[in-house]
Chains A and B, each alone.
Chain A
Amino acid sequence: MTKYLITIGLETHVQLKTNTKMFCGCSLKFGAEPNTNVCPVCLGYPGALPVMNREAVKFTVMSGLMLGCAINRHSTFDRKNYFYPDMSKDYQISQNTHPLCLGGGVTVQTPQGAKRVRINHIHLEEDAAKINHYARFSGVDFNRCGTPLMEIVSEPDLSSPDEAMAYLQALKQILVYAGVSECNLEEGNMRSDVNISVRPEGQEQLGTKVEIKNMNTFKGIYAALEYEIARQIGTVMRGGVIVQETRRWDPDLGETQSMRSKENAHDYRYFPEPDLVPVALDEALVAEWRAALPELPAARRERMVAEYGIPEYDAGVLADAKENADFFEAAARACAPGLGKTVSNWFMTEIMRLLSESGKTVHACALTPAALAELVTLVDRRVINGPTAKELLPELFRDGGMPEALVKARGLGQVSDAGALVAFVDQVLAENAKSVADYQAGKKAAAGFLVGQVMKLSKGKADPQLVGKLVAEKLAALG
């Protein structure tokens, strides 16, 4: 049976987290009442003119630098003309001929090993408004209109839906690290169109490409790619011909549908935007932005290993998500030197578990790095013991607060007074003659049981290390 090769390229739109819109001073706060963050400029009123948002240019250039792109020292904007109710001016200000960033790429991990996905270019443009459909009419919400939108156009270097996912994850990680976007998919911060073609193995020339739009989630992209691959291979195998066209993903039906064919493709009539002067970026400015670039995940992993003495594996897991690494480092830095490893252990086990159980991110939970640092410090100073700390953590995670205050308020401090504990030890040894005998017969594990019984008797508040020492001493004395 013929094997088919798949070729995928992605156009990824990323909303930048600037303070204001691309060409006016309107706020970008998500979730505002419709048509409240608007002005003559983003509503396209007669006579209104765009003014360049320098922060958006900076964020795009920073993204380009992190992705290894060349930065165009002289960049221009163009008008892309088309009529649609979501465009207030009926043209979009975009970049067609001289985008801010050229080239570059992302390394992604695939089952076959690391793979370089090349980037063709990154350009800056304005987002359109959002159209909401109701039973009897449609409404346009211009709050989103004019949001700075960075478009990252990949080369057709991807050969499976899994690679496409790996590429998007890698991109998202870098952009979040760069601090240029939240990449929040629910809020539509990151949206991709895909170009896909199939061809029988052995054929040099790429198959006819089809563009798919309207996938709002990574899952949607994956499903659309899987559907489209099957559709295209099926068509070719039945002797059919793939038509160059734009298709729309219908998430409810789980299928792609034809939107428009090549013959009906828009002629966007691009021409240079006369209302904006070219963006000139001198060496010094680009150098300044380059110097301000945040650390990338790989570099951070290595630094965290060296700085906190944590295992390579832990560092890798933490560095994967910037917010986790930020949380860990903030907590570790708030502790005495040498406790980094302990903080990492807490994060890797207890906190990761709480995160996955609650489905929350560290930003969304009530636990603060300072609270975790205090908890670790309390255990280190033997003010409380480990089990008490483990009991407190879910509460701190859910409700917030500081552990030391809770410990004081509830009298959870551990008993480290040997005099008070000796009585417990004596009692336990007296009540567990069999275990004592087992120990004396060589079953050293029986000591652990006895320690546990002492802890129980102390309602968990005894210092386990001290108890261990006292039990060992008593058993030796009985010896």
Chain B
Amino acid sequence: MDVSKITMVEAAEGLRTKAFSSVELTQAVLDAIEAKDGELNAYLSVDAAGALRQAGAADAARRSGQAGDLLGVPVAVKDLINVEGQPCTCASKMLEGYTSAYDATVSAKLRAAGAVFAGRTNMDEFAMGSSTEGSAFKVTRNPHDLTRVPGGSSGGSAAAVAGGEAIAALGTDTGGSIRQPASFCGCVGLKPSYGRVSRYGVTAYASSLDQVGPMTRTVEDAAVLLQALAGCDPRDGTTLNAPVPDYRAALRGGLKGLRIGLPKEYYIDGTDREVMACVRKAVDACAAAGAEIVEVSLPHTEYAIAVYYIVATAEASANLARFDGVRFGHRTAQPESVFALYAKSRAEGFGTEVKRRIILGTYVLSSGYYDAYYGRAQKVRTLVRRDYAEAFKQCDVMMTPVAPTPAYKIGEASDDPLKMYLGDIFTVPANLAGLCGISVPCGKTAAGLPVGLQVLGPAFGEGAILRAAYGVEQEVGA
């Protein structure tokens, strides 16, 4: 077994046929982390003893007749998803030393399926960023070029999966935080439709946009992991109360007859030529395989970034208020008043980008500014949603670039927040509209940097995007 390449499906098969045990598999993953993470910095913490204990229990369960796609398979978890007894720092000094008191619903589901929690992956602080440079603790490197960022905010998960330190990982996506790092690192990343996967126990950045999703080495692995995560949760009133389709079965639909929409607003100047060439090549391959290509229009695309940074920051300003030094997290030493306790704890605990977004969000909700910013943003959000509803009448899925560029150099964009915000242009609308999207590798630049293709589907159309992405993977996969 080579854990740097093995897929989840292969790992499950190896466990089933007793080619190796979960303890052996888990130990191999821990060894890979030990060997490589000094360079990649994908993990914030690794619970080797706990993981091996879980692996031993999974092996015992298998011996007693249990089976399952995830039984004994190690999975890395982004460090904002609660796993009882493990750290959950959100890559913030604010939660340094914090231990989760409970399992998120996704963690409980993975635990029940027998998955092994190998470690906690790095991210932009509180998921605010697109390069993982915003972590308070370390800078994760892109496995394809150590001088470049892995993307973000789920950069640790993407780097771990692509860099051979994890077979699969969980990420979260609020404006592209699964898809963009998947594209930068050359792995598969799926953002489910809003309401498909429970958010309970996932530290909130922007509640109306956040979703947990799989980051894997293949589209099939993404389907398997999504299957385990998806479904209605009584603890999250925003989850859809509807049966979850068989995603693995959906893979086999083929490209023939699939109507692929190309939104003209996404094929614009400004996108890197090599990125666009890879995307075009993938679309052409789909057409050659029998897909029907149609041009569609999403006229409000240009407003999406502005709307996103109003809605997301507004929600974040409230979501992050609870980090006040009273009940948990960082507390300043010797505050002279309750107000000082708040002000100093938060000033010391939060990083620059988090403060920037809290201040922005506070501003757009303030009395006298609400209508001009938040109120108007909600209206435009409705228009963005309508754009997609209209466009999906003409196509089954859409194909677009994930990001305008491949992975950039560490430090290149971190001092220019606006430039970094604009890098989210192709991913943000899916979150605003509640759609699903997947990033699937579709080629490399001359310098060897991976490029991802984004396949977007209507809300709860995960089956369609998995089918299309699987087709792309077969046609142009590396």
A binds B: yes
- Cβ of A239 under 8 Å from chain B: no
Residue A85 contacts which of B328, B338, B370 (CB distance < 8 angstroms)? Answer: B338
Residue B322 contacts which of A89, A269, A270 (CB distance < 8 angstroms)? Answer: A89
The smallest beta-carbon distance between A275 and chain B, in angstroms, is 5
- Cβ of B232 under 8 Å from chain A: no
Residue numbers in B under 8 Å from A47 (CB-CB):
80-82, 88, 104, 199-204
Residue numbers in A under 8 Å from B314 (CB-CB):
271
Contact B237 A46 (CB under 8 A): no
Contact A276 B367 (CB under 8 A): no
Residue numbers in B under 8 Å from A449 (CB-CB):
none
Contact A48 B200 (CB under 8 A): yes
The smallest beta-carbon distance between B70 and chain A, in angstroms, is 21
- Cβ of A43 under 8 Å from chain B: yes
The answer to whether A276 and B237 touch (CB under 8 A), given A47-B82, A47-B200, is yes
Contact with A along B224-238 (1 / 0, CB 8 A): 000000000011111
Contact with B along A9-48 (1 / 0, CB 8 A): 0000000000000000000000000000000100111111
Contact A83 B207 (CB under 8 A): no
- Cβ of B318 under 8 Å from chain A: yes
Residue numbers in A under 8 Å from B321 (CB-CB):
81, 83, 89-91
The answer to whether A271 and B365 touch (CB under 8 A), given A88-B322, A89-B322, is yes
Q: How many B residues touch A, CB cutoff 8 Å? A: 43
- Cβ of B15 under 8 Å from chain A: no
In chain A, residues 251-289, which have Cβ atoms closer than 8 Å to a Cβ of chain B?
267, 269-271, 274-277
- Cβ of B35 under 8 Å from chain A: no
Contact with A along B188-218 (1 / 0, CB 8 A): 0000000000011111101110000000000
A40 to B235, CA, bound (A): 12
Residue numbers in B under 8 Å from A140 (CB-CB):
326
Residue numbers in A under 8 Å from B204 (CB-CB):
46-47, 275
- Cβ of A206 under 8 Å from chain B: no
Chain A residue nearest to B88 in the complex (CB):
A46
> Between A and B, how many residue pairs show CB distances below 8 Å?
99
Contact B322 A271 (CB under 8 A): no
- Cβ of A79 under 8 Å from chain B: yes
Contact with A along B408-443 (1 / 0, CB 8 A): 000000000000000000000000000000000000
How would you classify the secondary structure of chain B's contact residues: helix, strand, loop or mixed?
loop
The answer to whether A48 and B201 touch (CB under 8 A), given A83-B321, A267-B367, A271-B318, is yes
A47 to B321, CA, bound (A): 13
- Cβ of A49 under 8 Å from chain B: yes
Residue B238 contacts which of A79, A84, A88, A275 (CB distance < 8 angstroms)? Answer: A275
Contact A49 B322 (CB under 8 A): no
In chain B, residues 339-387, which have Cβ atoms closer than 8 Å to a Cβ of chain A?
342, 362, 365-367, 370, 374
A270 to B327, CA, bound (A): 24
- Cβ of A52 under 8 Å from chain B: yes
- Cβ of A475 under 8 Å from chain B: no
Contact A45 B235 (CB under 8 A): no
Contact with A along B92-131 (1 / 0, CB 8 A): 0001001001101000000000000000000000000000
Contact A81 B326 (CB under 8 A): no
The smallest beta-carbon distance between B421 and chain A, in angstroms, is 21
Residue numbers in B under 8 Å from A50 (CB-CB):
237
A53 to B352, CA, bound (A): 38
Contact with B along A48-63 (1 / 0, CB 8 A): 1111100000000000
Residue numbers in B under 8 Å from A271 (CB-CB):
314-315, 318, 365, 370, 374
Contact A40 B102 (CB under 8 A): yes
The answer to whether A81 and B82 touch (CB under 8 A), given A43-B327, A51-B235, A51-B237, is no
A49 to B362, CA, bound (A): 21
The answer to whether A83 and B324 touch (CB under 8 A), given A49-B237, A277-B238, is yes
Residue numbers in A under 8 Å from B286 (CB-CB):
none
Contact A49 B199 (CB under 8 A): yes
Closest 5 pairs between A and B when the two form their complex, measured CB to CB: A90-B321, A274-B207, A274-B208, A269-B365, A46-B203
5 contacts between A and B (CB under 8 A): A46-B204, A46-B328, A47-B201, A49-B236, A52-B237
Q: Which residues of B contact A (CB under 8 A)?
A: 80-82, 88, 90, 95, 98, 101-102, 104, 199-204, 206-208, 234-238, 314-315, 317-318, 321-324, 326-328, 338, 342, 362, 365-367, 370, 374
For the complex with contacts A88-B322, A271-B315, A276-B238, 20 further pairs of A-B residues with Cβ separation under 8 Å are A40-B102, A44-B327, A46-B90, A46-B98, A47-B82, A47-B88, A47-B200, A49-B237, A51-B237, A83-B321, A88-B327, A90-B321, A90-B322, A269-B366, A271-B370, A274-B206, A274-B207, A275-B236, A275-B237, A276-B237
